[in-house]
Chain A
Amino acid sequence: MTTAAASEARVASAWSVLDGVPDPEVPVLSVRDLGMVRSIELASDGGLDVVLTPTYSGCPATEVIGRSVIEALDVAGLGPVRVILRRAPAWTTDWISDEGRRKLREYGIAPPVHSSDDVVPIRFFRDAASTRPSCPHCGSFDTEQISAFGSTACKALWRCRACGEPFDYFKPI
């Protein structure tokens, strides 16, 4: 194998390994599904540079994720690895992959429904039908918000009026 082909293979393997690194707070999603991994490149010193964009300013999982990424790549024999945190452009729920959205719904968390670029003017009635997620248990759109904030920084708490079940909603941002 040529050097170029070997580097390409190493970067490709690194991407696959990161499919297996979960978000500690939403373990059904990998850091790749979340869209946190922005790039993986081979640096001139032979190390792998993994660029991560944090999800929320104060997300306590960010540092754990950085450590898990290094550990997983080291175990796979792909090190040495550097994790670089890059804040700009800011992470958005639009970066969650289709596969990630499917996994969220299966896990019982409603994925974010509308693009975060679609900035809705702040009104004082938060139950506008267009922004309702469908229930991840029964699929009904007859849902309502219980709390704008949920069990982690990325979630809100909703309930379904059709099946009566509460559920987490991954809030669009």
Chain B
Amino acid sequence: MQDSITVSTDPSVRYLLRLGDTCLVHAQRLGEWCGHAPIIEEDIALTNMALDLIGQARGILTRAGQLGGQQFDEDQLAFLREERDYLNPTLVELPRGDFAITTVRNLMVAVLLELLWTRLQASTDAEVAAVAGKAVKEARYHHRHAADWLVRLGDGTAESRRRIEAALHRLWPYSRELFQSDAIDDAASASGLGPRWAELRDPWLAVMRDALGAAGLEMPAETAFLSFGRMGIHSEHMGHMLAEMQYLQRSYPGGAW
């Protein structure tokens, strides 16, 4: 069995891990739909989005590995960390649920990433800016696709509406975490590596309000609940997901296709 790695606590590395892990874990959950989506076109769509996200995660994790000065590559970072060294927001690690949960989460995450990549195109780190230049177009495409489905389900049958409303209320409390600032964000903002995620809160809410409005759905009120995935404190689902995601590399160290 392959030993775990311990990653640098450098704030730039942590900032990039938050972003890279968001893409990686979201992709892992989307990939679970392979062979299970309600229609074949959507099976292809969900796995295509996962592929884009894995490509984005590769670029960002590779850069995080370089900045950490520990010579970790993208695969070591993706597969050999312990749970608390993953810094994705809790939202993306929750089980994929039904298609309504997946649709609402896809929209919440795509809008967040589109806003983040837009800002990261001006990162002082040329490599991050280059990844962002490509990723912003992909996020925009994902955003449009998720918004189409939100409208179709929100404005569809009584059953699709019941499910999409339930999904919205289930996931919405996890959005609060996305926009909390801490020393990692402050350092990134000061160095020009990237924005504080908190700066994206207002535009994120505005885009979500438009999309929900088009779907005939009301934006839920903010709740007191706060999750801490970006700090490495995860839900009970994370360990199970990692066990599946890491199994192959842990059992067959360095295994490649």
Contacts and interface: CB of A to CB of B under 8 A. Distances in A.
Interface of A: 54, 56-60, 86-92, 116, 122, 124, 126, 146-151, 153, 157, 171, 173
B49 interface: yes
Given A58-B53, A88-B130, A122-B144, A147 B137 contact: no
Nearest to A87: B130
A58 B133 contact: no
A149 B137 contact: no
Given A58-B53, A88-B129, A149-B48, 11 more contacts: A56-B138, A57-B134, A57-B138, A86-B130, A87-B134, A88-B133, A90-B137, A124-B148, A124-B215, A148-B141, A173-B137
Interface in B126-146: 126-127, 129-131, 133-135, 137-138, 140-141, 143-145
A149 B144 contact: no
Contacts of B131: 57, 87
B55 A58 contact: yes
Q: Classify the secondary structure of A's interface with B.
A: loop
Contact of B147 (A54, A56, A57, A124): A124
B211 interface: yes
Nearest to A62: B55
Given A90-B133, A147-B45, A122 B143 contact: yes
A36 B130 CA distance: 15
Contacts of B126: 88
B28 interface: no
Contacts of A148: 45, 141, 144-145, 148
Contacts of A59: 51, 55
Contacts of B143: 122
A151 B133 contact: no
Nearest to B44: A149
B178 interface: no
B52 interface: yes
B215 to A, nearest CB: 8
Contact of B134 (A90, A147, A151, A157): A90
Given A91-B134, A124-B151, A58 B141 contact: no
Nearest to B126: A88
A122 B138 CA distance: 14
29 contacts: A54-B134, A56-B55, A56-B138, A57-B55, A57-B56, A57-B59, A58-B56, A59-B51, A59-B55, A87-B127, A87-B130, A88-B126, A88-B129, A90-B137, A92-B137, A124-B151, A124-B215, A126-B144, A126-B148, A147-B42, A147-B45, A148-B148, A149-B41, A149-B45, A149-B48, A149-B49, A150-B44, A171-B141, A173-B138
A56 B131 CA distance: 10
Contacts of B211: 124
A43 B81 CA distance: 39
